[in-house]
Amino acid sequence: MYAPRFAAAGQEQFESRHDLYELGREAGFFERIPATRHEEFGAAFSLLNERWRSTQRYLSPNQLWRYLSDIGAERRQKGDPGKNHSRATLELALKIINLGDAIRKKWKAELKKRS
């Protein structure tokens, strides 16, 4: 599978894979997660990372559904597998976004107290 790389200002190469773990690490997101939420966040993040890969944009529909079937993403689900996968992926992403927003608000409040 071919995934092109592009040079960007300030970087040697643009990373076209958009690896979720790498993006989270670079943003310092993992260090800001409260210890009480590590398990919840880790589970959601792992599932999202498994379901969403930027290289999927190069797959045919048959290859995509084979991959999702191989990882067990749609087992025991009734209805349209495309809608089920989209819904589950969106729910995981929203869970992570909401956690990140809560962390951001707490961080901003702490900065305001220090000022």
pLDDT digits (tens, 9 = 90+) for 94-113: 988 888 888 788 878 888 88
Determine the Cα–Cα distance for residues 4 and 103; give it in Å rounded to an integer.
34
Q: What is the pTM of this model?
A: 0.64
pLDDT digits (tens, 9 = 90+) for 5-59: 434 445 556 556 667 777 777 877 778 788 888 888 888 888 888 887 777 778 8
Determine the Cα–Cα distance for residues 106 and 20; give it in Å rounded to an integer.
23
Domain ranges of the chain: 20-114
Residue ranges of alpha helices (H) inside the chain are 20-26, 29-32, 38-51, 61-70, 81-114
Contact 14, 8 (CB under 8 A): yes
